Chain A
Amino acid sequence: MTSAPVAGAFAATVARDRRRAKRKAAWRRRGLVLGLLSPWIVGFSVFFVYPLVTSAYLSLTHYDLLSTPRWVGLANYRFMFEDDQLVWPAIKNTLWLMVFYVPAQVLFAFGVALMLTRARRGVGVFRTIFYLPALVPTVAGTLGFVYLLNPATGPVNIALSHLGINGPLWFHSPQWSKPSLTLLGLWGIGNMMIIFLAALVDVSRQLYESAELDGAGPLQRMRWVTLPSISPVILFTLVIGVIDSLQYFTQAYVAASIAVGQSASQSAENLGYPENSTLFYPVLLYQQGFRYFNMGYASAMAMVLLAVALGVTLVILRSSRLWVFYQGARR
C-alpha cells in the first residue's frame, strides 16, 4: 500500500513539470512577441509618444533651438488666437479644403469609377489612363499644372482664348489659386478611384436584379442599392481625404514658390502666394517652426492640429453609424 502515495507524488511532479513547461512556453511566447515588436516599440516611443509629450511641453515655452526653452505658460496659445494675423486665414484655407476639395475628389473619383463599370470595351486601358496621374510625383504634377495654368502662355488659357474666353489668373489670383490646386487634386484621384471600382464591382448582382423587379429605375437603384452597399468605402475615402487635407503641404508650397518665381527654399515670405490664399495650416506651421524657428509657437500650433485631427476623425466615425451599412448587419 505504499504505491499510492508514491503514485500521487509522481502525479504531482508531472503536473508541476507540466505547469512549469507551460509557464516556460508562455514566457517564450512573450519573448517572441517582444522580439518581433521591439523595433516598433522603440519607433513608436521615440517618434510618436515622446514627440507628443515634448510638443505639449514645448507649446508652453519660448524655444528657438539654440537657447534652452523658456516657460511662458499659455502665451503661445493666446498669441495664436488673439494676435497672429495669419492663423485665421490659414484655418479658413484648410477648412476650404475640407469643405470643397475633399468632397470634390470623392465625388469625382466615384463618378469616374462608375463610368468605368459601365464601359464595355477597353476597361483596362481606361483604368490605366485614369490611374496614371496618381503616380506622378507631387512636385512634378504641381510644376506641370503651374505651367499648364500659366495665365499668359499656358496651354489652358491659350485654348480658352481660342474659344473666346478670357482665362483667369489661376495660381496668381487669390480667388483662383485654391480651385487650381483642386484641379491638380482631381487629376490625381487614381487611388480613390481604384478603391471605388473594387467596391462597385463587389455590389451584389442579386440586389440590383430584385430592385429592378420591384420597379426601381436607375436613380433609385443608385440611391437604395449602390450607395448603401459602398457606404463603408465612402467613409474610408472621406476619412483619408480629411486627414490628407489637414497635412496638405507640398502642392501649396511648390505652387506658391514657383508661381511667385523665387527660390523655394530661400524666402519664406512667398509662402501662401498670392495674398495668403494658399497659406494652409501646415504651411504656416512649417514657416513658424522651421523658417523663423519659433519652435514653442509651432508646437502650440501642432497641439491645436492634434486636437482638430482627433476631433474631426471622431465626428466622422461617430456620424458614420447613421449612414454606413455593413454587409449582413446594420451596426
Chain B
Amino acid sequence: MSTAVVEARRVAQRKPPASARRRRFLLVVADHSLLIAAAIMFLAPFIFIALTAVMTNEQALSPKLWPEPFRWSNFVDVFRTAPVWRYALNTMLYAGLATIGVLVSSIPAAYAFSRLRWRGRDVAFVATLLVLMLPVQVTIVPVYVLFAKLHLVGSLWPLILPNFLGDAFSIFLLRQFFMTIPEEYADAARVDGCGELRVLVSVFLRLAKPAIAAVALFEFLYCFNDFFGPLLYTSENSSHWTLSLGLAQFRTVYQVQWNLTMAATLLFMAPVIIVFFLAQRAFVEGVTLTGVKG
C-alpha cells in the first residue's frame, strides 16, 4: 500500500522531459530578453537627457555620447539664466490652489451623485461626463472673453478660479469610488444619529482617503504639467509664467544651449518622479480606478 503512495509521489515529482524543460526555459528567456530590450528603450531617453545635462556645450554638439568632463555647474547655470524660482512659485501657487479648489468643490458633488437619490440625477451625471468627453477648445473662446472682460488675463486667476467650481474628471473619479463603499457603513452612522453631512465627513471621507489622495495627486500633476492654460492666459506677462511655460521658452528666449536646456528639462521632471516613488500606490490605484468602469 505504501509503495503505491511512494510510486505516486515519485511520478508527481518526476521532472518533465528535457525537451519540454528546454522549451520552457527558452520561452522564459525570450520573454525576459524582450522585456529587457523594451526597458532599455524606455529608459534611453532619460539616460541621454541626463548625460547631455552634464556636458559642455561643445560636447552636446559633438558625436560623443559620454560627457567628458562632467559639467555639474550646468544645473547652477540654469537658475542664473532664467527666473526659475519665480516660475516654480507660480507653479506651486497654481497647482496648490487648484487642488484645494477641486477637493472642496468636487467631493460634495461626487457624494450627491453617488449616495443621494434625487430626480434627474442620472441626466445630470451624463451631462457631467459630456464635459469630460469634449475637447477644451470647444468652449475656450467665450471663457477667454469672459476672463478678458474681468481683466484677469495675464494673471494666474483664470487657471485657478474654475477649479473651485468643480472638476468633471475628479467628480467622476470620486463618484466611482464612493459607489464601491457599502451602504451599511452609512446606515450604521445614520442609526447612530448622524445627519447626511456628518455621514459624508465621518464615513465617506475616511473610507475614500485613497481615492481623494489620487484625485489630489492627479490634479496637482495636471496643473504642474499644464501648458495650454498658462500659454493662453499668462504668456504676455512673464512674471506669471509657470515652469512648463518657462521651460518651453527657455531655449529660444534665452538663447541657451542644448546642455542647459536638458539640465532644465531634467530639473523639471525630477519633482514628479520623486513624488511618484514616494506615492506609487496612490498612482497605480488611481489609474486603475479610471479604467475599472470603462
A interface residues with partner B (beta carbon < 8 Å): 29-30, 32-33, 35-37, 39-40, 42-44, 46-48, 50-52, 54-55, 58, 65, 112, 115-116, 118-122, 126, 128-133, 135-141, 143-145, 147-148, 150, 153, 155, 158-159, 161, 187, 191, 194-195, 198-199, 232-233, 235-237, 243, 246-247, 249-250, 253-254, 257-258, 261-265, 282, 285-286, 289-290, 295, 298-299, 302-303, 305-306, 309-310, 313
Q: Is the CB of B248 within 8 A of A264?
A: yes
> B39 contacts A130, CB within 8 Å?
yes
Per the CB 8 Å criterion, the residue count for chain B at the interface is 90
A177 to B: closest C-beta gap in Å = 17
Task: Tell me the bound Cα distance from A264 to B290 in angstroms.
Answer: 33
Judge if B97 is at the interface, Cβ distance under 8 Å.
Answer: no
In contact, A282 and B43 (Cβ under 8 angstroms): no
- Could you say which residues of chain A place their CB within 8 Å of the CB of B140? 51, 285, 289, 302
Q: Contact between B31 and A250 (Cβ–Cβ < 8 Å)?
A: no
What's the count of A-B pairs with C-beta under 8 Å?
Answer: 264
- Nearest residue, chain A, Cβ from B52: A147
Residues of B within 8 A of A237 (CB): 294
CA distance A28 to B105 in the complex (A): 20
Give the dominant DSSP class at B's interface: helix
Q: Which residues of B contact A131 (CB under 8 A)?
A: 283
On whether the beta carbons of A137 and B244 are closer than 8 Å, the reply is yes
Taking A140-B247, A306-B134 as given, write out 9 further A-B residue pairs in contact, using a Cβ cutoff of 8 Å, ordered by the A residue number: A47-B162, A55-B138, A119-B35, A143-B251, A198-B291, A236-B294, A295-B145, A305-B138, A310-B133
- Bound complex: CA of A95 vs CA of B164, how far in Å? 35
- Please state if A233 and B138 are interface contacts (CB–CB under 8 Å): no
Contact bitstring B125-148, A, C-beta under 8 A = 1, else 0: 001100101111111111111101
Closest chain-B Cβ to A249's Cβ sits at a distance in Å of: 6
Residues of A within 8 Å of B60, CB to CB, are 153
Closest 6 CB pairs of A and B: A43-B165, A236-B294, A40-B166, A51-B139, A195-B291, A247-B135
Q: Are B288 and A194 in contact (CB under 8 A)?
A: yes
Contact with A along B252-272 (1 / 0, CB 8 A): 110000100110010011001
Contact B291–A236 (Cβ < 8 Å): yes
Q: Least Cβ distance of A322 to chain B in Å? A: 17
- Cβ–Cβ < 8 Å partners of B291 in chain A: 194-195, 198-199, 233, 236
Of all chain A residues, which has the CB nearest B27?
A118
Nearest residue, chain A, Cβ from B167: A43
Check A58 against B142 for contact (C-beta < 8 Å). yes
Residues of chain B within 8 A (CB-CB) of A144 are 45, 48-49, 262, 265
- Are A195 and B290 CB-contacts (below 8 A) given A51-B143, A130-B42, A262-B252? yes
**A37-B108, A144-B262, A153-B60 given; A264·B141 CB < 8 A:** no
Q: How far is the CB of B234 from chain A (nearest CB, A)?
A: 10
Q: Is the CB of B106 within 8 A of A40?
A: yes
> Please, how many angstroms separate the alpha-carbon atoms of A51 and B133 in the complex?
16
Tell whether A115 pairs with B35 under 8 Å between CB atoms, given A153-B63, A195-B294: yes
Q: Is B176 an interface residue (CB 8 A)?
A: no
Q: Which residues of B contact A235 (CB under 8 A)?
A: 294
- B252 CB contacts on chain A under 8 angstroms: 257-258, 261-264
Given contacts A32-B197, A148-B45, contact A139 B235 (CB under 8 A): no
